[in-house]
Amino acid sequence: MPEKGQQAKVYDIPDSDLAKYKAVEANQTSYDEGKDRLAEGKEMAGGIDLDKQEVQAYNDICICWIKIGGTWYYRYQYCWQDCP
């Protein structure tokens, strides 16, 4: 999982190998619900940069959470976007 600031990598993994792994569950919280949990995880690449957003826009911001191998990853995104 690329963390914020890292380049994403593309792998060509055969379906037979992918079948050996469990599906990854992703869920989404509002910014207010999830902001206190951010210390539990690592910010992944692909989200919006909150440093450039105005505070008034936070009600349109959600946090996408993905747990991989015991580690929580999150990214900031607009609430209308699907959490991958």
Would you say 46 and 81 are in contact if contact means Cβ atoms under 8 Å apart?
no
Domain contains 11: no
Domain contains 38: yes
Domain contains 84: no
Domain contains 63: yes
What confidence score (pLDDT) does residue 18 get?
A: 67
What confidence score (pLDDT) does residue 65 get?
A: 93
pLDDT tens digit sequence for 13-56: 777 876 776 667 788 998 888 888 888 899 888 888 776 556 55
Q: How far is CA 70 from CA 24, 27, 32, 41, 64, in A?
A: 11, 15, 24, 10, 16
What confidence score (pLDDT) does residue 52 get?
A: 52
User: Encoding tokens for residue 33?
Assistant: 């619900």
> How many domains does the chain fold into?
1
| Element at 63 (helix H, strand E) | strand 61-68
What confidence score (pLDDT) does residue 67 get?
A: 86
Residue 46 sits in which domain range?
A: 21-78
Domain contains 4: no
